[in-house]
Amino acid sequence: MPLLEVDDVVVQFGGVTAVNHASFEAEAGRITGLIGPNGAGKTTCFNVISGLQRPTKGAVRFNGRTVTRTPVHRRSRQGMGRTFQRLEAFGSLSVRDNVRVALDIHRGFRGIIKPSASDIDGLLERVGIRSYADDRADAIPTGTARLLELARCLAGAPKLLLLDEPSSGLDETETDDFGDLLEDLAAEGMGILMVEHDMDLVMNVCDTIRVLDFGEVIAVGDPSMIRSDPKVQKAYLGYSDVDVDKEPVA
Amino acid sequence: MDTFIAFLIPGLFTGAAYAIAASGLVLTYTTTRVFNIAHGAFGMVLSFVFWDLTIRQGLNVVLSLFLVLFVIAPLIGFIMQRLITRGLGNAPVGVSLVVTVGMFVGLIGFAQQYWPEDRIEPEAPRFVPPFWLTFADGDGVPGWQVAGTSITGLQLITILSSIVVAVGLYLLLNKTRIGTAMRASVDNPELLRLFGGKPDNAAALAWMIGMSLAALTGILLVSVVGLDYFGLTLLVVNAYAAAMVGRLKSLPMTFAGAMGIGVFESLAIGYSTDSPLLSTVRPAIVPIFLFAVIVLAPQAQLRIGQVKGMVSAPVPSIPRMGIAGAATLLVAALFVTTASDVRLLQLGTAATYAIVMLSLVLLTGYGGHVSLAQLSFAGVGALTYAKLDEPNLSGLVMATLVAAGVGALVALPVLRLTGLYLALATLAFAVIMEKVVFKSPDLGFGSGGAVEVERLSILGYRFESTGAYVFLMVAFMVAIGMGVLVVRRGVVGRMLIAMRDSPAACGTLGLDMRWFRVGLFASSAGIAGLAGALVAGLRRLTGEADFIFFNSLPLLLLAVVFGITSVTGAVLGGVGLMLLPVLQAETVNVLGSDVKLGGLMFMVIGIGAVLAARDPNGLSNYLFRFGRFLERRLRARIVAGLPQLTTPDGLAADGLTDGRTDGGADETAVHEPAPTGVPLGKVVSDGAPARG
Ligand SMILES: Nc1ncnc2c1ncn2[C@@H]1O[C@H](COP(=O)(O)OP(=O)(O)OP(=O)(O)O)[C@@H](O)[C@H]1O
Ligand SMILES: [Mg+2]
């Protein structure tokens, strides 16, 4: 049974259908790519999965349980972590305190009684932003802030990571390191569902890919299949060639 | 049946007026996502303008009506949208609340200043005659007889106006391009822009129409309510309730809600002569109704994609905190031993306000929630302390706990809701307290009444002299200030700020914010309650007039202006608020004539809040920056003066010179945006819509 199942989800905003009968899944220990042109409904899917958006129709199952109506924080406690395309770092706090808050929340009441001290710098080290530890989170570069959001998620030791365009703002070496990190995390058994515009990264690290267009899943397969799928090429045509489609300028 | 109809018709009249007000409110909210708390205040000012034109200047009524409704009001609306509320819809709701509350208070001040109550003008009575006052039937009663009751011309005009407004808005929103844009811009401004729409024009039009509707409501009601700064302004609470029935988006539901409220209220007034219970509760019917509709509102989804990083006040180290506290106490001790009784009372009052503002530092500064009822909580504390008649620590603790409990009771029903709804719930609560509970002879102080209070004694020592008592108050203020800072330094403080910066991230990290919020509300209300109990003891007499709803608003605004994110700001704000009535009583000589400063001070506060709202760190932030600048200069000079000392760190106790202890939270001023990135607070979407 897959770790995450999105089952026939529909999301409508007034007259706009952002997600249109989308079904897909993500497995533990694997990296699943979710790609599609701008406005395809990827972020909306993430919001539905994490509970920030109630679907008009359809269901979400996580870890064997239906969570369609479960509140956001409870899904997180069941092992869902996510990052945001539009950053949601705690701007008034330092980078270290961002992670500290995440750890304290994760530890719940124990966190309030006995605040966490260790682990934090280890997490920052792991995502490679240790040198920013004392900076205010609203004064660090975008790419760094995305890594911070990842570190914050990892503090909760999630079973499933939802990453929304995590590599935008990173340079090439940073992106490579980031890809390695994702592979390590997956090897540890974490399921990763990633929305990403950087096709090189997607093709390199993803075990399997789902393509979304106008809210519908139009293709499913491993990177080589996706690369040659005519429907995918058509969806991307007019944006740029599928193979070299880099993150559009932020 | 006849009496029923006799009550029904005035109900339809007020309902129609509420409907006009509420539709303006809903229109501006749906188009710009700014809930205009000042809607009623604009209506009040514009009806004063109407009175000024017709009665004072002697202008023709129809011409004046045209000028106010179609020239002055839209112009003001346009200016407000362009200068003040633009972009506010995307800011955290606390910001737009403070801005509109600022306009509210500023407008009251403007009206008080420009049309002072005590100015005698025999040729211009403060009175607007009702429109179309006819005695058509010749029976000496105005209006026409219908089913045994009379309908006046004004009532008829009001009901007809509401129908015209309803039809007009329907046509505008559904049959015109700009109307479609107005409906669309709240859903998706970026999408609208993509299709060539101009959300800014739609917003401006919404504010212009909203303002005209506010003016229309005011002018229709002014002959009934009278030219009363507060009476006219607060009528809008009824409109809030109606707007909530329409969930802030449906105009038909809003109209239905307004009519329902008008009729229900009128029936309650009519039948309350027979029922003592009903007549005490009657003034609270609409606020209770408002509260109920809020409670029934659907759960709001957590918003994503707002500006982050609101709090930048420094967090002092423990030694630094201790020194500041000790210094405050020392100054207070010197003051207390030398000052006159009048000055002592002033200092005590300042300390009270400072404590109430400290409760707001916790709730609003750190937690990001706006309360419009902080003085009502103080009133609960004062009331408890007075009624318990136990002038010792246990009485004080009880006062704090009861106020905290009441705070929790206000927050509990709205557990699922946040932001605007929570703020409106506190507003409803404050009105209920003022109109019913505090006035009640059994539960409260009694109408216009006051209760005698004894001063506190602790462990057998009675703080009988005013000097000793005031010193005790300052000590409480210092202790609470330190308490707030200790919270800020700890786990809870970090979580509060995290919730303020990004509720969505907190949720996805697993934080259940609902109970946290109730706890926060309760603590904040408890602190305010403690302040109330203390000030009751100071004055030895406390009454309902000390805790009227309106006074919570300048308090909130001054806290924001002085910096609601820091203890320093709260203390300065407390002094400022204490000085307010002192300054309001001043007269200055302008061009040879004496001008009272009364309303002007409210204007200053209102404008200050409008300017400061976007940066809640307020004036004290400049103080901190200046302090850091001085420290750096001083340190450099000492280092230069003492070349034999090699390590500058050895110069002063490190806790003194190094303000940054909590993750460099105070170092904003020196942060350069990193070269490769955009600072997070200003990140623009990479192609996603505003709330993608
Ligand atoms: N809160 C909202 N209200 C109205 N429409 C919305 C909302 N959120 C998203 N949409 C619309 O839904 C569609 C899908 O948006 P979504 O953000 O999910 O796309 P995406 O695939 O993440 O795009 P991108 O690659 O630009 O991030 C878009 O047309 C968008 O305008
Ligand atoms: Mg997206």
> Mean pLDDT across the stretch B162-185?
84
Indicate if the pLDDT at residue B686 is higher than 60: no
Decide if A53 touches B, using CB distance below 8 A: yes
Q: Is A9 a pocket residue for ligand 1 (Cβ < 6 Å)?
A: no
- Check if B304 has its Cβ closer than 6 Å to any atom of ligand 1: no
Cβ atoms < 10 Å from Cβ of B450: 17
What is the pLDDT, as a whole number, of residue A58? 94
Per-residue model confidence (pLDDT) at position B674? 36
Residue B196 neighbours by CB under 8 Å, 6+ apart: none
Tokens of B577: 């608020």
Show Cβ contacts of residue B488 under 8 Å, excluding neighbours closer than 6 positions. B315, B366, B496, B497, B662
**Beta pairing class for A80-82 and A160-164:** parallel
Half-sphere exposure of B403 toward its Cβ, with a 13 Å CA cutoff? 34
Mean pLDDT of B485-493: 91
- CA A41 to centroid of ligand 1, rounded, Å: 5
Q: Looking at chain B, which residue has its C-alpha nearest residue A145? A: B680
The per-residue pLDDT of chain B, averaged, comes to 83
Lowest mean pLDDT among B197-201, B236-240, B259-263, B563-567: B197-201
Give yes or no for residue B175 having a pLDDT over 90.
Answer: no
Tell me the nearest-neighbour CA distance from A105 into chain B, angstroms. 6
- Average pLDDT over every residue of B336-345: 90
Of A231, A219, A209, A216, nearest to A21 by C-alpha is A216
The kind and range of the H/E element at B461 are strand B461-462
Beta-carbon separation of B509 and A142 below 8 A:
no
Rounded mean pLDDT, B573-580: 90
Question: Which residues of chain A are within 8 Å of residue B665 when distances are taken between CB atoms?
Answer: 92-94, 136
**Is residue B463 predicted with pLDDT exceeding 90?**
no
Q: For chain A, how big is the Rg over CA atoms in Å?
A: 18
pLDDT tens digits for B591-649? 767 777 778 888 888 888 888 887 778 888 888 888 888 888 888 887 777 655 444 44
Range of B667's domain?
A: 642-692
pLDDT at B371 over 60: yes
Percent of chain B with pLDDT over 70: 86
Determine which of A21-35, B142-156, B334-348 has the lowest per-residue pLDDT on average: B142-156
Contact A59, A8 (CB under 8 A): yes
Which whole number is the average pLDDT over B362-381? Answer: 93
pLDDT at B190 over 80: no
Contact A145 B692 (CB under 8 A): no
CA distances from A71 to A8, A89, A116, B507 (A): 20, 21, 26, 9
Measured between beta carbons, the chain B residues lying within 8 angstroms of A171 are 676
Cβ–Cβ < 8 Å for A144, B674? yes
Ligand nearest to the CA of B194: 1
pLDDT confidence tier of residue A245, bands split at 50, 70 and 90: very low
pLDDT at B685 over 70: no
Question: Is A13's C-beta closer than 6 angstroms to any atom of ligand 1?
Answer: yes
Looking at A71-156, which runs of residues are DSSP E strands? Answer: 80-82
Q: What is the mean pLDDT of residues B333-340?
A: 90
Output the pLDDT for position B487. 93
Is residue B680 very low, low, confident or very high in pLDDT (cuts 50, 70, 90)?
very low
Other CB atoms within 10 Å distance of the CB of residue B9:
20
pLDDT band at residue A115 using 50, 70 and 90 as cut-offs: low
pLDDT at B619: 87
User: How many Å lie between the centroid of ligand 1 and the Cα of residue A43?
Assistant: 7
Take atom 17 of ligand 1 and give the residue whose Cα is closest: B692
pLDDT digits (tens, 9 = 90+) for A149-198: 999 999 989 999 999 999 988 999 999 999 999 999 999 999 999 999 89
d(CA B375, CA B377): 5
Q: Where are the domains of chain A?
A: 1-79+159-169+187-250, 85-157
Mean pLDDT throughout B165-192?
A: 77
- What is the pLDDT of chain A when averaged over all its residues? 87
The tokens for A207 are 């075990």
Query: Residue B398: what pLDDT?
Result: 95
**Domain final position from B496, B525, B549:** B549
Please report the beta strands in chain A, taking only residues with DSSP state E, as ranges in sequence order.
4-13, 16-26, 31-35, 57-62, 65-66, 80-82, 160-164, 191-195, 208-213, 216-221
Question: Is residue B31 in some structural domain?
Answer: yes
pLDDT at A73: 93
Question: Which pLDDT score, from 0 to 100, does residue B363 have?
Answer: 93
B369 and chain A in contact, CB less than 8 A: no
Contacts of B604 (CB under 8 A, 6+ apart): B109
Cβ contact (<8 Å) for B308 and A52?
A: no
> By percentage, how much of chain A surpasses pLDDT 70?
90
The secondary element (H helix, E strand) that includes residue B243 is helix B236-245
B76-85, B89-98, B202-211: segment of lowest average pLDDT: B89-98
Residues of chain B with C-beta less than 8 angstroms from the C-beta of A84: 304-305, 504-505
Please check whether residue B40 is in contact with residue B553, taking contact to mean a CB–CB distance below 8 angstroms.
no
Mean pLDDT of B370-393: 92
Q: Is the pLDDT of residue B187 over 80?
A: no
Mean pLDDT, range B124-130, rounded to an integer: 79
Average pLDDT (B445-466) is 82
The closest alpha carbon to A120, from A142, A149, A151, A145, belongs to A151
Mutate which: A95, A123, A131, A136, vs B, most B CBs within 10 A: A136
Sequence letter at residue B377: F
Contacts of B256 (CB under 8 A, 6+ apart): B245, B246
Lookup: tokens for B413? 């029903």
Kindly state the DSSP code that residue B490 receives in the 8-state scheme: S
Separation CA B106–CA B84 (nearest Å): 13
Same domain, B323 and B224: no
The Cα–Cα gap between B32 and B209 comes to 13
β-strands B457-458, B144-146 pairing: unpaired
pLDDT level of residue B189 (50, 70, 90 thresholds): low
Same domain for B342 and B225? Answer: no
Please tell me the predicted confidence (pLDDT) of residue A81: 94
Which tens digit of pLDDT belongs to each residue from B135-148?
Answer: 666 666 666 777 66
Domain count, chain B: 3
Q: Is B649 part of a structural domain of the chain?
A: yes
Residue B654 has pLDDT above 50, yes or no: no
- Check residue B642 and give its pLDDT: 66
| Residue type at position B384 | T
Ligand 1 centroid to residue B692 C-alpha, Å? 5
Average confidence (pLDDT) over A117-128: 86
B403-430 per-position pLDDT tens digit: 999 999 998 887 777 788 889 999 999 9
Q: Is the pLDDT of residue B486 over 50?
A: yes
Query: What's the pLDDT score for residue A230?
Result: 81
| Greater model confidence, A188 or A250 | A188
Contact flag B505-A89 (C-beta cutoff 8 Å): yes
ipTM of the complex: 0.90
Strand partners, B543: B450
Domain assignment of residue B635, yes or no: no
pLDDT single digits (tens) A20-53: 999 999 999 999 999 998 889 999 999 999 999 9
CA distance A97 to A120: 9
Give the pLDDT mean for B159-169: 93
DSSP for residue B456 = P
Flag if A88 and B497 touch (Cβ within 8 Å).
Answer: no
- Among A5-9, A94-98, B442-446, B536-540, the least confident range: B442-446
B486-498 mean pLDDT: 91
pLDDT by residue (tens digit) across B499-528?
Answer: 888 889 999 999 988 888 899 999 999 999
Q: How confident is residue B661, by pLDDT bands cut at 50, 70 and 90?
A: very low
**Range with the poorest average pLDDT among A12-16, B104-108, B272-276:** B272-276
pLDDT tops 50 at residue B550: yes
| B291, B429 contact by CB (below 8 A) | yes
Residues B666 and B521 in one domain: no
Average pLDDT in the B6-24 region? 90
Residues in chain B: 692
Nearest CA in chain B to A103: B509
Last residue of a domain, one of B518, B549, B580: B549
Per-residue model confidence (pLDDT) at position B689: 35
Q: Which atom of ligand 1 is nearest to the CA of A45?
A: 18
Diameter of chain A measured on Cα atoms: 57
User: CATH says A1-79+159-169+187-250 is which class?
Assistant: alpha beta
Using DSSP's 3-state secondary structure scheme, residue B457 falls into strand
Q: Is the pLDDT of residue B108 over 90?
A: yes
Average pLDDT over residues B297-324: 76
Contact A51 B685 (CB under 8 A): no
Distance CA B288, CA B292 (A): 6
Mean pLDDT of B175-180: 81
Render pLDDT for A185-239 as a digit per residue (tens, 0 to 9). 999 999 999 999 898 899 999 999 999 998 888 888 888 888 888 888 777 754 4
**DSSP reduced 3-state for B644:** coil
Question: Can you give the pLDDT at residue B637?
Answer: 82
Predicted confidence band at B684 (pLDDT cuts at 50, 70, 90)?
very low
Q: How far is the CA of B469 from the centre of ligand 2 (A)?
A: 60
Q: Is position B169 within any domain?
A: yes
Residue A188, class by beta-carbon neighbours within 10 Å (0-12 exposed, 13-18 middle, 19+ buried)?
exposed
User: Given this model, what pLDDT does residue B197 score?
Assistant: 63
Span from the CA of A41 to the centroid of ligand 2 (angstroms) = 7
For residues A50 and A58, the answer to whether their CB atoms sit within 8 Å is: no
